[in-house]
Structure 1
Amino acid sequence: MIIVRTCMTVLPEKQKEVLQTLLLLLHPPRKEQGCVSYDIFTDIENKNVFNLISQWDTRRHLDRHLQTDRFSVLLGTKCLLSEPLRIHISTLSGSEGMEAVSAARKRGA
């Protein structure tokens, strides 16, 4: 599993414009082969900070997404940002859910 976190700090006067662009870009990737999820979050302390979190089955699927016109549009928003775009790509060998939390809490009791 590949997880990508894209952090954007937008110019305050461009916040709505960037948000509208992100919302338009949100739905097509969700339908791309290998896309597990693709979501946008706003920082609760700074409405001008957006985080895009996406999950991909394989690096090949992610690489295909990175070559799309939609991703080029995202990269093209750099003139609307107050800080450089930050992208972090993480490769996971596995993941756990609530069962792991419950098991850890039982061990600690």
Structure 2
Amino acid sequence: MVKVVAKNCIQEEKINEVIELYKELVEETRKEEGCIKYELYQDAQNPAILTMIEEWEDRSYLERHFKTEHFTRIVPMIGQFLAGDKEVNVYNKVN
């Protein structure tokens, strides 16, 4: 199992627009084979910080996800509204 935590700081005036983009990404991604969990969270202290928490059956499903139409279309749209560096961490489950 693979978990991903992807954290972005969004331009304040674009938060609502970006959330709508994320909603589409979540809806489409949840249909993918191998996707166990794909959820968007908003920081309780700073609403400009949005974090995706993902869970995949294994790394191969995650790699396929990066090549999907919705990912390659929506993620660059979100990227144009970043207010700083993004942070993406990928974790493998320890047995």
Work out the number of aligned pairs and report it. 94
Larger Rg: 1
State the identity as a percent.
Answer: 26
* Greater relative CO, 1 or 2 (CA 8 Å, sep 6+): 2
Change (3 A) 1:6 1:75: farther
Q: TM-score, normalised by structure 1?
A: 0.81
When you count helix as a share of all residues, which structure comes out higher? 1
3-state secondary structure, aligned to 1:82: coil
Residue deviations 1:56-105 (CA, integer Å, cap 9, x gap): 001111100011122222133222010122211111134xxxxxxxxxxx
Give 2:33's aligned residue: 33
Q: What is the Cα-based RMSD across aligned positions, in Å?
A: 1.1
When you count strand as a share of all residues, which structure comes out higher? 2
Q: Which runs of 5+ in 2 are unaligned?
A: none
Give 2:76's aligned residue: 75
3-state secondary structure, aligned to 2:80: helix
Q: TM-score, normalised by structure 2?
A: 0.92
Runs (4+) of structure 1 exceeding 4 A deviation are none
